[in-house]
């Protein structure tokens, strides 16, 4: 029966990484996956992470199982980081938090929990477009998905009116997913005022919110600004689960570390929810890994490391801003008749370029520049060395 299994489509992002690695041409440029790179095109291990690891090593800690939902201290620190120390939800009985396997693992447990217990409409509305794995993840775990408008292709901007209209039409008690900051793939986020409007509409429709928080601190370099979406919603008591990943903001991609928090009303609710989450986690991965969580804990509890981390977040955010500026500048220098100004208006890892599938295939085949066929370009792959080459090739395929 193995032979009868249909072949699945390759993952759009990791499939492209394989293609890039196999390509022996020079120059070649990887603008596919969203991982931070230095201007020398190297992975960046944060200094605060290295220092935390040195401290951990000295402590000669054991390698016992961590609690199924993660350590209490880690969960508490994650709540302090996300909702803030003074949030009404940052108290026992007002949240149920577990250590997830980064964003994907947190979303996966949250999805399974909602599929089993959510009493409303089990339909998750995701933005059009969104991170390619959202739809895959929810569908594989038994939750249907539908989309809401998010992106205005003509003007290369956020389609705020379209989004509001679509939310307004959503059946009561549906589930909606938002990107907390640095929307992947478009790089366009609602403003603070717009988040407030969204919040009111979400309340009117009594929607349940899944907030995907993959870039807090990394998006703008400001921990609070990148948290405004879900803090605004929490203040208005929107029903929500916040799924935080520490992959990008700590550069801990492969450590799979994150925290997921359900906001609840009482200790009675919290205890029951936690008991079910523990069963689910036990059936999925049993216990979360230790190392990444220890690093995050160390950085959050040591004031010197926290300070260093905040500096490094700014360095990463600024490096991406500067790569955007350079790319825009070089595109202008090619004499391109297109308006590329949107590149510096977007934020975070990605630029949604409006390039067509055909143009992107040409970029890959002729120039060995790898991007997702959706038009998403990963900004960290742009360096001072390759920016001119990339700009010239983009100009060639678009003129």
Place of tokens 């926290």: 306
Q: Which SS3 state, helix, strand or coil, does residue 148 take? A: strand
**Could you give the CA distance from residue 29 to residue 40 in angstroms, rounded to a whole number?**
12
- Closest separation in Å from C-beta 339 to ligand LMR: 26
- Closest separation in Å from C-beta 110 to ligand LMR: 16
The single residue of 51, 212, 309, 330 carrying the catalytic annotation is 212
- 248 included as an active-site residue: yes
The single residue of 131, 195, 309, 340 carrying the catalytic annotation is 131
Task: Tell me if 1 sits within 8 A of 345, measured CB to CB.
Answer: no
DSSP 289: -
- Closest separation in Å from C-beta 105 to ligand LMR: 11
Q: Which pairing describes strands 144-149 and 123-128: parallel, antiparallel, or unpaired?
A: parallel
Our CB check for ligand LMR shows the closer of 122 and 248 to be 248
Our CB check for ligand LMR shows the closer of 89 and 131 to be 131
Our CB check for ligand LMR shows the closer of 148 and 215 to be 215
Q: How many CB atoms lie within 10 A of CB 123?
A: 16
Q: How many CB atoms lie within 10 A of CB 157?
A: 14
Our CB check for ligand LMR shows the closer of 184 and 199 to be 184
Q: How many CB atoms lie within 10 A of CB 13?
A: 16
Nearest Cα residue to 146 out of 160, 166, 165: 166
- Closest separation in Å from C-beta 245 to ligand LMR: 8
- 131 included as an active-site residue: yes
- 212 included as an active-site residue: yes
* Pair of tokens at residue 107: 């979303």
Largest CA distance in the chain: 64
- Closest separation in Å from C-beta 265 to ligand LMR: 33
Residues that bind ligand LMR (CB under 6 A): 13, 33-34, 131, 133, 184
For 161, residues 6+ apart whose C-beta sits below 8 A from its C-beta are: none
For 189, residues 6+ apart whose C-beta sits below 8 A from its C-beta are: 158, 179, 181, 182, 183, 219, 229, 347
Our CB check for ligand LMR shows the closer of 102 and 229 to be 102
- Closest separation in Å from C-beta 345 to ligand LMR: 20
- Closest separation in Å from C-beta 76 to ligand LMR: 27
Our CB check for ligand LMR shows the closer of 258 and 288 to be 258
- Closest separation in Å from C-beta 226 to ligand LMR: 16
Give 209: exposed, middle or buried? Use CB within 10 Å, 0-12, 13-18, 19+: buried
**Could you give the CA distance from residue 301 to residue 318 in angstroms, rounded to a whole number?**
25
**Could you give the CA distance from residue 216 to residue 172 in angstroms, rounded to a whole number?**
29
Angle between helical axes of 228-235 and 192-204 (0-180°, round to 10)? 40
The single residue of 248, 309, 330, 340 carrying the catalytic annotation is 248
Q: How many CB atoms lie within 10 A of CB 222?
A: 16
Q: Which pairing describes strands 29-30 and 144-149: parallel, antiparallel, or unpaired?
A: unpaired
* Pair of tokens at residue 45: 């291990």
Our CB check for ligand LMR shows the closer of 133 and 145 to be 133
Report the residue closest to ligand LMR, judged by CB: 34
Our CB check for ligand LMR shows the closer of 330 and 376 to be 376
Question: Following DSSP, what letter does each residue of 77-137 receive, concatenated?
Answer: HHHHHHT-TT-TTSSTTSEEEEEESHHHHHHHHHHHHHHHH--S--EEEEEES--HHHHHH
Hey, which residues are catalytic here? 131, 212, 248
């Amino acid at each position: 029966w193995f032979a009868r299994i249909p072949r699945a489509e390759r993952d759009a992002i990791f499939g492209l990484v394989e293609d890039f690695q196999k390509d022996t041409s020079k120059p070649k440029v990887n603008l596919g996956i969203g991982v931070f790179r230095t201007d020398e095109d190297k992975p960046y291990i944060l200094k605060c992470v290295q220092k935390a690891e040195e401290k951990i090593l000295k402590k000669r800690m054991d390698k016992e199982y961590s609690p199924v939902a993660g350590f209490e201290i880690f969960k508490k620190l994650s709540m302090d980081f996300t909702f803030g120390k003074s949030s009404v939800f940052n108290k026992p009985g007002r949240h149920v938090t577990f250590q997830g396997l980064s964003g994907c693992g947190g979303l996966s447990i949250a999805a399974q929990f909602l599929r089993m217990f959510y009493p409303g409409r089990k339909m998750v509305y995701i933005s059009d477009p969104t991170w390619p794995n959202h739809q895959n993840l929810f569908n594989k775990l038994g939750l249907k998905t539908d989309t809401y408008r998010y992106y205005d292709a003509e003007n290369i901007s956020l389609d705020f009116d379209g989004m509001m209209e679509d939310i307004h039409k959503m059946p009561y008690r549906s589930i909606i997913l938002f990107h907390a900051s640095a929307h992947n793939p478009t790089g366009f986020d609602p403003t603070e005022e717009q988040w407030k409007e969204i919040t009111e509409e979400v309340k009117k429709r009594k929607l349940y919110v899944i907030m995907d928080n993959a870039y807090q601190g990394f998006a703008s370099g400001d921990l609070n600004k990148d948290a405004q979406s879900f803090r605004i919603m929490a203040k208005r008591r929107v029903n929500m689960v916040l799924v935080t990943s520490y992959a990008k903001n700590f550069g801990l991609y492969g450590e799979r570390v994150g925290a997921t928090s359900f906001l609840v009303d009482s200790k009675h609710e919290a205890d029951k929810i936690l008991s079910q989450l523990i069963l689910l986690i036990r059936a999925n991965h049993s216990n979360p890994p230790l190392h990444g969580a220890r690093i995050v804990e160390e950085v959050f509890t040591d004031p010197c490391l926290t300070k260093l981390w905040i500096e490094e977040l700014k360095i990463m955010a600024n490096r991406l801003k500067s790569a955007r500026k350079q790319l825009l500048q070089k595109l202008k220098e090619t004499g391109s008749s297109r308006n590329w100004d949107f590149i510096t208006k977007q934020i975070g890892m990605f630029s949604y370029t409006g390039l067509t599938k055909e143009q992107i295939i040409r970029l890959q085949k002729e120039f060995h520049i790898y991007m997702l066929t959706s038009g998403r370009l990963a900004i960290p792959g742009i360096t001072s060395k390759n920016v001119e080459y990339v700009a010239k090739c983009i100009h060639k395929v678009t003129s």
